[in-house]
Amino acid sequence: MGSHQLSFRFEVPGGRKTSEGWTVTWQGCAVMGILNATPDSFSDGGRHFSVDAALASARSMRDSGVFMLDVGGESTRPGSDPVDAATELDRVLPVIRALRELDVLISVDTMKPEVAAAALKAGAHLINDVTGLSQPEMVRVCAEAGAAACIMHMQGEPRTMQHQPSYDDVVAEVHGYLRERAAEVKAAGVPSVLLDPGIGFGKTLEHNLALIRAVGDLAAGEDPVLMAASRKKTIDLIADVPQADQRDPGSLALHLHSARQGAAMVRAHAAAEHVQALRVQQRIEQAVDG
Ligand code: HH2
């Protein structure tokens, strides 16, 4: 079972102080629990739309062993409409402030540098940007704050990305992009990154399957890998489950496979169920290792 780490230049829950800042280290595959503060996310939109509800859900996820919570104020599902920064901030800031009392790692799912900057000031630790920190300002915000970042691959933009995805060699292109971007972003001062192949972001089913099968190659590199396929359309296309909130068994299968190949983290709606399943899988693997 692999060991993984993320570094920050400020104190984080569970962190250890080093000469350069704080480092969080973990074994095997951890769970990032999804906490959407949006009225329209594809599977749980509206459920956490009050701060009290978000906090209760977050506390329950933390108690079940979730490693990090990912707060989002803008849906990025295919076809979704963008929201402005003020609306996004109104949604995420009260939730981030409330989560601080839980002493758990907080990630913020945003594409906007101004939202990232305010979220980090309010107590978030990691910026999860589905555009791979494509705006230079986003790199600057993370670097200046000393926050870690998740770099995801996306072809196109959420509104139109599923119209006609096309690659010559999807695995080489996506892995190449992520490795290059990680090097650039770290050279610009971001202390550490998570890499995410971006399942469903400008990819057909075959593209997604190729990336899922190849996750071990990406995980063999120096940066930890996040897989985020929870309740996605890919599962419907494979197993015929049109309703998103019915896709947890398929999400678990896909994420357990990824964990076995070396993924360091999985992003999940059914977070407690993922913690349980990963604990069982990891225990079985320990026995094999002796
Ligand atoms: N997918 C969504 C959102 N954020 N972040 C990362 N790193 N990787 C992903 O694959 C990813 C992501 C999906 O979009 P959304 O409509 O916001 O739904 P939800 O947050 O419920 O998954």
pLDDT in tens, 52-90: 989 999 999 999 999 999 999 998 877 777 899 999 999
The answer to whether residues 208 and 198 touch, using CB atoms and an 8 Å cutoff, is no
Q: Which residues have any ligand 1 atom within 6 Å of their CB?
A: 34, 36, 41-44, 72, 75-77, 109, 128, 130, 150, 152, 196, 198-199, 226, 228, 230, 267
DSSP symbol at 230 = T
- Give nearest CA residue, ligand 1 atom 2: 76
Q: What percent of the chain has pLDDT over 70?
A: 95
Pocket test for ligand 1, best of 6, 32, 41 (most atoms within 8 A of CB): 41
Q: What is the pTM (predicted TM-score) of this model?
A: 0.95
47 band by pLDDT with thresholds 50, 70 and 90: low
Q: What percent of the chain has pLDDT over 90?
A: 86
DSSP symbol at 244 = G
38 band by pLDDT with thresholds 50, 70 and 90: confident
CA of 104 to the centre of ligand 1 (A): 20
Give SS3 for 177. helix
40 band by pLDDT with thresholds 50, 70 and 90: low
Q: Does the domain made of 3-289 have the CATH classification 2.60.120.260?
A: no
- Rounded to whole angstroms, the Cα distance separating 69 from 99 reads 9
Per-residue pLDDT, 12: 98
Cα distance between the two ends of the chain: 12
* CA distances from residue 54 to 48, 78, 109, 115, 146 in whole angstroms, order as listed: 5, 24, 15, 19, 26
CA of 68 to the centre of ligand 1 (A): 14
Per-residue pLDDT, 206: 98
- Rounded to whole angstroms, the Cα distance separating 186 from 192 reads 7
DSSP symbol at 102 = G
Of 21-25, 38-42, 125-129, the poorest mean pLDDT is in 38-42
Q: Which atom of ligand 1 lies nearest, measured to the CA of 226? A: 7
- Give nearest CA residue, ligand 1 atom 11: 228
Per-residue pLDDT, 82: 84
Q: Which atom of ligand 1 lies nearest, measured to the CA of 201? A: 10
Of 4-18, 40-54, 128-142, 178-192, the poorest mean pLDDT is in 40-54
Q: For the chain, give percent helix, strand, coil, nearest 5.
A: 45, 20, 40
Q: For the chain, how many residues are written?
A: 290
Average pLDDT score, the chain: 94
| pLDDT higher than 90, residue 159 | no
The answer to whether residues 71 and 150 touch, using CB atoms and an 8 Å cutoff, is no
Q: 228-273, pLDDT tens digit by residue?
A: 999 999 999 999 999 999 999 999 999 999 999 999 999 999 999 9
| pLDDT higher than 70, residue 130 | yes
Per-residue pLDDT, 198: 98
- Give nearest CA residue, ligand 1 atom 12: 130
184 band by pLDDT with thresholds 50, 70 and 90: very high
> Which segments of 130-196 are extended strands (E)?
148-152, 193-196
| pLDDT higher than 70, residue 46 | no
In single-letter form, the type of residue at position 264 comes to A
